[in-house]
Structure 1
Amino acid sequence: MPMHDKFGNLAGWDLEGFQSGGDTEAWRRLGSHVITVHDDESGDLRGTRFAVWAPNAQRVQVIGDFNWWQGDDLAPVEGTGVWALWKQDVSEGARYKYKIQHTDGTWQEKADPYARFAETPPGNASIVWESSRAWGEAEDDWLDRRARTDVYESRMSIYEIHLGSWRTGLTYLELAEQLPPYLTWLGYTHVEFMPVMSHPFVGSWGYQVTGYFAPDARLGTPDDFRRLVEALHAAGIGVILDWVPGHFPKDDWALGRFDGTALYEHADPRQGEQLDWGTYVFNYGRNEVKSFLVSNALYWVQQFHIDALRVDAVASMLYLDYSRPEGGWVPNKYGGRENLEAIDLLRYVNRHLYERAPGVVMIAEESTSFAGVTSPTTSGGLGFGFKWNMGWMNDSLRYLNLDPVYRQYHHNDLTFAMMYAYSERFILPISHDEVVHGKGSMINKVPQDDWRKFATLRAFYSFMWSFPGKQLLFMGQEFAQRPEWNESQGLEWWVDGLWGHNGVRQLIRRLNSLQAAHPALYQLDSDPAGFQWINADDAAHNTYSYVRLSREGELIACITNFSAEPYPRYPVNLPRAGRWRQVLNTDLTDFDGSGEFDNPDDIVATPHSTDEHSWAWASVCVPPLAAVWLQYVPGED
């Protein structure tokens, strides 16, 4: 029998796309695959094809529990740098590694870069895996609706979660039972998973990936993870997944120096090492690495029906001098600091996923002012759908940290974001990064006593939910957990029913409910027509007021008081005369507020003049450290 038949017809021409950087489904050719081949004498034979890219290896073997961890030699696929072997009677569940001989004659054992399942750490063997779970019929409906949805004019309220510590000890299947109803009750539209790819160190939270194609085995099998995604979709919740193409760890059994040479990474440490994290940086200009990364992005979207990828640490990819000392980086061919190869890769990945997966969304965690992150690739942009607004986040948290008496001197911290609000399409993130490593939890960022802490946090979340942009909140912040997040301990669920904590959670639920009911609060997030200041300059009262508008003309006036003083008759200049109905007051007892300051059901705005286009005055009761929202009631003078 010809050798390439035993490889399941894997020949040189099969790998031309991989070599050119154009193979966007490289996992179908590389890695391990259970394949039935036909032999004229023996008939159909079942086994596994192993294929690995190791162009500088002298010799490659596969070792596993099917050969007592003794080597079976792989054969080179001529002209490709790939080695392959079809091994009879090896099936799903078999554990294996590649044993690679370097040019100096030494041997090293490596996990399969394309393995679709892997051992639970500290084990690091790869596992042969083929899915046996079919998607339900409802998934087709979900994907069809996703393709027809205008995500920019739709709600996107995101709950960020670390699956291993949301409720400690839960598997994917247990999460599939518990997570969807909780998110539905809270009213979230999306959940964002911190990386679920295989990683050996729990303390890396998944951001130091060793198995890019393998869901974390600590929580279950790949099919179990599919079940979790399907359960969330059945509840109407989109799934966002963190993706880490910026760097990878140096574990000697993983990607680093894979065939004894710098294969996936740059050889020059000025380009190939990330000093902040002690990791390697991908060689984005190498075609086979391009195929690896674009295939990996498509793999999660196509094989697991992920609805969006949030790309981690984009700034570290964009700049050659990112966090490097003077003289410690290599300029691009034009002498600049931009990483042209990484920029090309990001555009390639974004363009390809938008073409292949209708309705998918690509999200950038990008912390600089790099131009055009969410602009189309056809006009020179990076092609992302959204960008995390890190400037808004930093300014907001700095403001919250101030005693109310000092906030008047930092009023612009909360208004400055409107200077650039429409330069990109933004998500407003309060992520895991803001509640770890000595930064304090959200409730403990706020000074003074508990009354002020909880009231301020309720006012801030209301400000956040009414501000242009989509919202993201990390788990535990929906009930104002006091300790910082610790991945080894999980959340303090026992406080969620206590005074203050329960009030914040009830408020998050109400904010999501109000947002769902009022398109003015989300429809024109990326359009200047959706926002008008009422008063951006009332620093003396620590108060901000503005109007949100929908495409159909709905008006919601939002007033937030970050002072500890109440304003029983606060003058507000509203864009329409007539009746305005209070739809939110964060000081109500529903949210564990004082309940002492409230408005009548309807507030009458009186016009300045007979000009129908003039604004109108109203007197509004604005409680201390609280937000009030008013909806215009058309046709009721």
Structure 2
Amino acid sequence: MYPDIFNLRQSNFVLWSPGLQHPISSPYLVIGTTDRSPNVFNQIGRHPFVLSEDKADLWLLDPNTISPPLREGSYRYWFEIQDTSPERRGTLLVTDPLAYTVDYAVTQGLNETTQPASVIRFRDGKLWPCNTDGTSPQKPTVPDPASLPSNNHLVIYELPASWAKVGDDSRGTNVDVGTFADVLALFDTTCRGNRFSTTSAVCDGAILSELGINALELLPAADARPKGEWGYATANYFAPDFNLGSASDLVRLVDKIHSQKIRFFTDVVMAFGHDPYAYIDFKQFHLRPDMERNNPDSYQSHANGQIRDGYGGSSWRYLQSTQSYDPEEGSKNAWIHPSWAFHRLHLTRWMADFAVGGLRLDSVNNIGSYDFVRSYKEHAWELYNARYSLAADPSKFLVIGEELSMPVSMVQQGVLNALWNEPWQGRLRAALLGEQVKREESFEWNVRKLVDCTLDDHGDTNFTDGAQAVNYITSHDIEGWRKERLYNFLKSNNIWDVERRAKLAFALLLTSVGIPMIFAGEEFADQMDRSVDIGKKQTDPVNYSRKNDGGWREALFGYVANLVKFRTKCPALGEDDTDFFHVDESRGGKIMAWRRGQPGGTRRPVIVVANFSDEDTPGAEYIIPNWPDGNRTGWREISQGREVPSEWVGREPLLGWEAKIYTRWRE
């Protein structure tokens, strides 16, 4: 399934431009080297491309025809083109849109169109991918699918790879911004990290291995122009982010987490881009929705005529169909969607070279084309199946969409496999305050829908399987009412015993139907340092030093780690079966008990008992009638890690805002 254009790029510099068949002048390759000062560019040539005779819209330049001849080694280069954007600024030097590595230390120009150099290695008459230091990256070892967790036992950790560390001065100046090596240090005790080597919790431990998560989701790892932010302004889709490290650094991270049976997810932004095609071939790849209001491509899906938002970039044009060279199949004069082909190409790059085991698609409504999203999802599955051939396990790959208007129909129609379950966060936070979400819905039903997301109504359709819904206490989207970090949410609602409410929150997250996701730092109730000013949320630090505070945060981390390991292994929590068998009306319905997992026979279900009130149960015992298998021995309480004597099964007292988790299952 290797795309034709990838093969061409081994023997040629390639510029694919469906809309520039007959420009005023041909594009040029500007190429050179760097000396020991890496930001000094020594140009060695400016050479015209030649339009391919048999493949329309494809510009080629054989590196062996360059004079003086290229020597073996690494080179920096740009494409010199005529700007086709609405602003039309004349001649520009732009990055190769298919560059595998970019170098911001070498740039041309001093304005908003400044583009980093593309990096390539010339060897044996061919062009090869390389890191900025000229070394060749390896591909990660493809993990044995049997070693990977299935979708219904995932616990995803959502991490901005560029998390910040701030100084002590009043300005909160950045001291460091994370890299792939710093992420590796969260899994590897032998790695001290790159920029966080003075943070003891990072350099002296392996926090995420200790936590026990089995899926790492990096916020967009592809290259973005802003430094120290989260990567949503994607500029160079084929290249790992320059500020995070090299392709080799990312491969080392992927290999390490695969050795620990952890899947690698990455976030992808395809509603808009800050990419070179905004200048090379604007009308084929991009649009300004506010300038084309009669174009259906200018509007979001499921949004009642809402215009698409480029957030400072250019919206991708998805309805455009053009007769052109097909960069995937290699055929000439085929009818294709240029943007579809471009995004499928970089998907192939990430799936093949970084062994991606799952995807999160940002803001699918703002993409504006469910047909494209379906095509992208199906291509991801084709690549995954090709990776393993007959051994591919359909339960071990997933394409997740994010859209807060909750178009669950996208899942039921096969456009996506799963969706962020944003209403779950609202239900949880209401439950933590003893409130219901809707006036017409009781507190009891809020909790029922919290525990079993298949009960929640989303227009004309519901989730039908827990692996279709990603639940979270907090996500990186921390702006808006009741969206802030859990610590700040509780404090703003005058809840001072943060540890107990946070434990209840994680007990619900990690035992409910759906895929649980933990935003970095929530496992020890990190707090917002900068992002109380939401404009600074992308530079808000994840303060991992708080994890080792020797107090309640460290205790919370241990509690969460215990439940994470339970969630990833206990069979009952991978099932959707849920039964509420006790609602204490004498206490306002605020004490409930429910079973998770199928009952009967050799099954070992999980029982959760929760108190959503300030009041402890009175006396030495609290009796829960109809306890499933209450006459059987071998019960244990998971959150405290203790055996439960037979005479105490279904009779243990509860503190206010406490959950207890019981099972007879043993690993």
Alignment TM class, shorter chain as reference? 0.7 to 0.9
Q: Distance in 2 between matches of 1:87 and 1:495?
A: 53
Partner of 1:571: 623
CA 112–535 in structure 1, closer or farther in 2 if over 3 Å, else same: farther
Q: Distance in 2 between matches of 1:197 and 1:401?
A: 39
Q: Distance in 2 between matches of 1:122 and 1:473?
A: 37
Is it true that 1:277 corresponds to 2:324 in the alignment?
no
Partner of 2:200: none
Q: Which of the numbers 71, 75, 81 marks the counterpart of 1:94? A: 75
Could you tell me how far 1:97 is from its partner in structure 2?
Answer: 1.2
Could you tell me how far 1:101 is from its partner in structure 2?
Answer: 2.7
Partner of 1:192: 217
Partner of 1:593: none
- The one-letter amino acid paired with 1:353 is L
Q: Which of the numbers 419, 423, 426 marks the counterpart of 2:464? A: 423
Partner of 1:531: 578
Q: Which of the numbers 340, 345, 354 marks the counterpart of 1:290? A: 340
Q: Distance in 1 between matches of 2:634 and 2:662?
A: 5
Partner of 1:72: 47
- The one-letter amino acid paired with 1:491 is V
SS state of the match for residue 511, structure 1?
helix
Partner of 1:620: 652
Q: In the alignment, is the contact (CA less than 8 A) between 2:444 and 2:589 conserved in 1?
A: no
Q: 1:354-369 maps to which residues of 2 (within 5 A)?
A: 354-357=384-387, 358=392, 359-369=396-406
SS state of the match for residue 620, structure 1?
coil
The worse-fitting range, judged by mean Cα deviation, of 458-467 and 121-130 is: 121-130
Q: Which of the numbers 391, 397, 401 marks the counterpart of 2:423? A: 391
Deviations 1:208-266 (A, max 9, x none): 100000001112211221111111111221111111122213x7xx231423x422124
Q: In the alignment, is the contact (CA less than 8 A) between 2:476 and 2:519 conserved in 1?
A: no
Partner of 2:553: 501
Q: Distance in 2 between matches of 1:351 and 1:100?
A: 36
Is it true that 1:480 corresponds to 2:525 in the alignment?
yes
Is it true that 1:309 corresponds to 2:352 in the alignment?
no
CA 255–373 in structure 1, closer or farther in 2 if over 3 Å, else same: same
Q: Which of the numbers 396, 406, 412 marks the counterpart of 2:445? A: 412
CA 219–299 in structure 1, closer or farther in 2 if over 3 Å, else same: same
- The one-letter amino acid paired with 2:30 is I
- The one-letter amino acid paired with 1:361 is L
CA 71–603 in structure 1, closer or farther in 2 if over 3 Å, else same: farther
Q: Distance in 1 between matches of 2:633 and 2:488?
A: 35
SS state of the match for residue 233, structure 2?
coil
Partner of 1:62: 29
Q: Which of the numbers 104, 111, 118 marks the counterpart of 2:95? A: 111
Deviations 1:506-540 (A, max 9, x none): 11111022224521122x1xx4xx22222368581
Could you tell me how far 1:436 is from its partner in structure 2?
Answer: 4.7
Q: Distance in 2 between matches of 1:400 and 1:604?
A: 27
SS state of the match for residue 425, structure 2?
helix
Could you tell me how far 1:277 is from its partner in structure 2?
Answer: 2.0
Q: Which of the numbers 144, 167, 179 marks the counterpart of 2:187? A: 179
Partner of 2:379: 349
CA 315–478 in structure 1, closer or farther in 2 if over 3 Å, else same: same
Q: In the alignment, is the contact (CA less than 8 A) between 1:274 and 1:280 conserved in 2?
A: no
CA 28–532 in structure 1, closer or farther in 2 if over 3 Å, else same: same
TM-score by length of 1: 0.75
CA 566–480 in structure 1, closer or farther in 2 if over 3 Å, else same: same
Partner of 1:440: 484
The worse-fitting range, judged by mean Cα deviation, of 468-477 and 65-74 is: 65-74
Q: Distance in 2 between matches of 1:453 and 1:554?
A: 32
Partner of 1:464: 509
Q: Which of the numbers 218, 227, 231 marks the counterpart of 1:206? A: 231
CA 389–355 in structure 1, closer or farther in 2 if over 3 Å, else same: same
Identity of aligned residues (%): 18
Q: 1:537-576 maps to which residues of 2 (within 5 A)?
A: 540-549=588-597, 553-568=603-618, 569-572=621-624, 573-576=626-629
- The one-letter amino acid paired with 1:72 is H
SS state of the match for residue 435, structure 1?
coil
CA 128–575 in structure 1, closer or farther in 2 if over 3 Å, else same: same
**Unmatched tracts of structure 2, length 5 or more:** 34-41, 65-69, 108-115, 122-128, 131-135, 166-175, 189-205, 299-306, 322-335, 457-461, 532-536
CA 26–490 in structure 1, closer or farther in 2 if over 3 Å, else same: farther
Is it true that 1:165 corresponds to 2:163 in the alignment?
yes
**Unmatched tracts of structure 1, length 5 or more:** 1-22, 36-47, 319-338, 591-597, 606-617
SS state of the match for residue 446, structure 1?
helix
Is it true that 1:236 corresponds to 2:261 in the alignment?
yes
Q: In the alignment, is the contact (CA less than 8 A) between 2:340 and 2:372 conserved in 1?
A: no
Q: In the alignment, is the contact (CA less than 8 A) between 2:595 and 2:608 conserved in 1?
A: yes
Could you tell me how far 1:389 is from its partner in structure 2?
Answer: 1.4
The worse-fitting range, judged by mean Cα deviation, of 534-543 and 278-287 is: 534-543
Could you tell me how far 1:603 is from its partner in structure 2?
Answer: 4.6
Q: Distance in 2 between matches of 1:560 and 1:278?
A: 46
Q: Which of the numbers 53, 57, 72 marks the counterpart of 1:81? A: 57
Q: Distance in 2 between matches of 1:225 and 1:255?
A: 26
Q: In the alignment, is the contact (CA less than 8 A) between 1:54 and 1:258 conserved in 2?
A: no
Could you tell me how far 1:175 is from its partner in structure 2?
Answer: 3.4
Q: Distance in 2 between matches of 1:122 and 1:487?
A: 25
Q: In the alignment, is the contact (CA less than 8 A) between 2:265 and 2:359 conserved in 1?
A: yes
- The one-letter amino acid paired with 2:455 is M
Q: Distance in 1 between matches of 2:613 and 2:229?
A: 39
Partner of 2:173: none
Is it true that 1:491 corresponds to 2:511 in the alignment?
no
Partner of 1:629: 661
Could you tell me how far 1:347 is from its partner in structure 2?
Answer: 5.0
TM-score by length of 2: 0.72
Could you tell me how far 1:411 is from its partner in structure 2?
Answer: 4.3
Deviations 1:24-70 (A, max 9, x none): 7365146x54x4xxxxxxxxxxxx63433253243201113257275
Q: In the alignment, is the contact (CA less than 8 A) between 2:100 and 2:239 conserved in 1?
A: yes
- The one-letter amino acid paired with 2:541 is G
SS state of the match for residue 427, structure 1?
strand
The worse-fitting range, judged by mean Cα deviation, of 547-556 and 464-473 is: 547-556
Could you tell me how far 1:204 is from its partner in structure 2?
Answer: 5.0
Q: Distance in 2 between matches of 1:434 and 1:225?
A: 25
Deviations 1:362-406 (A, max 9, x none): 22223334354334xxxx521x333221221232234435689x9
Is it true that 1:25 corresponds to 2:76 in the alignment?
no
Could you tell me how far 1:201 is from its partner in structure 2?
Answer: 1.4
Q: Distance in 2 between matches of 1:121 and 1:580?
A: 66
Q: In the alignment, is the contact (CA less than 8 A) between 2:570 and 2:665 conserved in 1?
A: no
- The one-letter amino acid paired with 2:96 is D
Could you tell me how far 1:92 is from its partner in structure 2?
Answer: 5.3
CA 119–26 in structure 1, closer or farther in 2 if over 3 Å, else same: farther
Q: Distance in 1 between matches of 2:313 and 2:665?
A: 57
CA 410–280 in structure 1, closer or farther in 2 if over 3 Å, else same: farther
- The one-letter amino acid paired with 1:553 is R
